[in-house]
Amino acid sequence: MLEEAFQKYERLPTELAEEIPRFTPELKSGLAEFAREARDRGKSEAYRARAEALERKRGPALWSDYLLAQIANQANDEPAWERELLKIGDRLAQASAWAQAREIGEEILGSHPSAPAARLAVRAIEALGDDAALDDALERAWSIDSGNPEIALRLSARARSRGDAAAGLEWQGAALKGLAEAGQWERFEEAVLAVLSGDEAAAHEEAIAALATLYRLGELKRAGEYLELGLARW
């Protein structure tokens, strides 16, 4: 049964445009079951080697990457499992197969927090135009990767677009430390000036923490200028 199933998978098309319509929940379920049976029969290593040999010969394929992920999963090799799934997600995203890319991101996130998977899910949700899900996806991404200023600024823009100026300032404040550490000074200045001109205490606390980051980075002149602005405002 295993050999017959593997030979069937080998006959699947290798062109991505032809692969995508066949990369269904049913195919994934079958590959997961294949990996479980291979483990039970002590043949995981043999089929892993064959799938890898096929990829070296013909290039990557969605089915073989997914099989490799499931074999890794059966071996409790979580890093390899996630790595293979992210390869699939990247290929699907490049082909604008966003619904399937989103499923891959959610599959990873259903197991454990993953910043790359959270970013993949955000990209997919945005590309699909699922506006109702975007804020939750961005907040989930922030909870996993809370030092990422891009996420905070996206959340800030989203808040301001729906008229929530207070939340917009708070998220701009949350972005400051990451912007400073990345040396993105124009964006840092835009955000810090907005925060200092507002009345949100939580955002002010983030600005104070950002000043400490500037001192740590040796940006004493910048820190002094923004401290002076803050004292004048507060």
**Strand residue runs (E) in the chain:** none
Question: Residue 57, Cβ neighbours under 10 Å: how many?
Answer: 7
- Structural domain boundaries in the chain: 2-169, 170-234
DSSP state for residue 61 in the 8-state scheme: -
**Helix (H) / strand (E) containing 86:** helix 78-94
What's the rounded mean pLDDT across residues 148-158?
Answer: 97
pLDDT at residue number 231: 61
Least confident of 29-33, 114-118, 213-217, 221-225: 221-225
Give the confidence band of 125 by pLDDT, cuts at 50, 70, 90.
Answer: very high
The H-or-E segment that residue 62 falls in is helix 62-74
- The CA distance from 139 to 56, in Å, is 39
d(CA 176, CA 152): 9
Contact between residue 156 and residue 176 where contact means Cβ atoms under 8 Å apart: no
- Fold adopted by 2-169: 1.25.40
3 state SS of 147: coil
Lowest mean pLDDT among 54-63, 136-145, 204-213: 204-213
Checking if the pLDDT of 204 tops 90, the result is no
pTM of the model: 0.87
Confidence tier at 124 by pLDDT (50, 70, 90): very high
Tell me the mean pLDDT in the region 57-63. Answer: 95
Residue that is written with structure tokens 């197991």 in the block: 111
